[in-house]
Amino acid sequence: RTMIGLPAYAAIPLALLATRSGAFQPSVGVPIHHRTAAVCSPATHHIDRGDSSLAAAASGEQDGEEEYDEEYELVEFTVTPEQIAKLRKEAVKRDSRKKLPKFFLPPEETAVSEDSPPSPDTMGEILRLLENDELVEVRGVSKDSKKRAFDACHHLAGMVEDALEKPVVVVEQKGFAVRLYSPFDEEGREGRIELRSSYEPGKWRRKAKPVRDIRGQIVRGEDGKSIKEVPE
C-alpha cells in the first residue's frame, strides 16, 4: 500500500476523499434567527443600487421594517405619582372655584361593572364633559356597595377611555365619587394642564378590554376571570 505524504494528502479535494473512503457527509442547515422590533435593531444591508431587483427588494424590506416599527411606537399612557399629585391639586382648585364639571350617575346605573356598563345617554354626557374639560368628577358610583366602589370607578374609566378613544386616568376616588383626567389633543388649548406627559394623539396603546360574545356577554376563562385583549 502506497503511503501519501501530508502535503500531497492535503492537496486532494475533500469530496474525492469522502468518495474514496465512504465517509458520511452531514448536511448542515443554516440556522434561522427570528428577530422582533422590540429587541433587535434593523440590520444594515450593503446592496449595489445598480441592480434594480436588489434595490427594489431592499426598499420593500425597509418599508416593511418601518411599518413594523411604527406599530411598536404605540405606548400605554401612564402618569407618575408626582403628576397625579399635580392633577389632584388642580382638581381641588377648580372645585373650590366651582369650575370642576360634575356628573351624577342615575340610581339605576350606579352599579358599574364589566357586565353593567352605563347607558348610551349617560356615557354620551360624560364624553361631552371630557371633550370640554380635562378634569371631570363622576358621582354616585357603586352606591350600593362601598367595597366595590374602587373597582367600579376603574371599570368606568376604562369604558370611558374606550368610547372616547383617548387616555382616561383615575386621578382620585373618594367614597362614591371619582375624578377623571383625559388630556386635550391641542397643545395650546385654553384650560389645558401642562403635565409634560408622553401622550401624543393617535400614538398610544389602549388598555386590554374584556372579550364579549355575540350576545354581548363577557367571555371568561376556566379560572372564572374575564379574557381580555387590546382593541384594534
**pLDDT single digits (tens) 43-67:** 444 434 444 444 444 455 454 444 4
Q: How does residue 74 score in pLDDT terms, banded at 50, 70 and 90?
A: very low
The residues, ordered by sequence, that sit 6+ positions from 229 with a Cβ below 8 Å of its Cβ are 208, 209, 211
Q: Give me the amino acid identity at 42.
A: P
Q: Give residue-wise pLDDT tens across range 174-200.
A: 999 999 999 988 777 788 888 765 555
Question: Is 195 within 8 Å of 79 (Cβ atoms)?
Answer: yes
Helix, coil or strand: residue 92: helix
pLDDT > 70 in the chain, percent: 58
- For residue 83, give the 3-state DSSP assignment: helix
Q: Which residue has the higher pLDDT, 93 or 59?
A: 93
Q: What is the mean pLDDT of residues 71-94?
A: 79
Q: What is the pLDDT of residues 200-209, one digit of tens each?
A: 555 545 566 6
Comparing 167 with 97, the larger pLDDT belongs to 97
Instruction: Give residues with Cβ within 8 angstroms of 197, minimum separation 6.
Output: 77, 79, 83, 183
Rounded to 5 degrees, what are φ and ψ at 70? -65, -35
98-111 pLDDT, tens digit each: 999 999 999 999 99
Mean pLDDT computed over 62-89? 65
13 pLDDT exceeds 70? Answer: no
- Confirm if 155 and 65 have CB atoms less than 8 A apart: no
> Taking a C-beta distance cutoff of 8 angstroms, is the pair 138, 130 a contact?
no
Domains of the chain: 75-183 (3.30.110.60)
The C-alpha cell at 157 is: 374609566
pLDDT at residue 79 greater than cutoff 60: yes
What residues have CB less than 8 Å from 62, skipping those under 6 apart? 42
Q: What is the pLDDT of residue 202?
A: 54
What does DSSP say about strands 209-210 and 228-229: parallel, antiparallel, or unpaired? Answer: antiparallel
Q: Hey, how many other C-beta atoms are within 10 angstroms of the C-beta on 44?
A: 5
Q: Which residues pair with 170 in a beta bridge?
A: 180
Residue 191 has a pLDDT of: 82
Summary mean pLDDT of the chain: 73
Are the CB atoms for 103 and 137 separated by under 8 Å? Answer: yes
Q: What is the pTM of this model?
A: 0.57
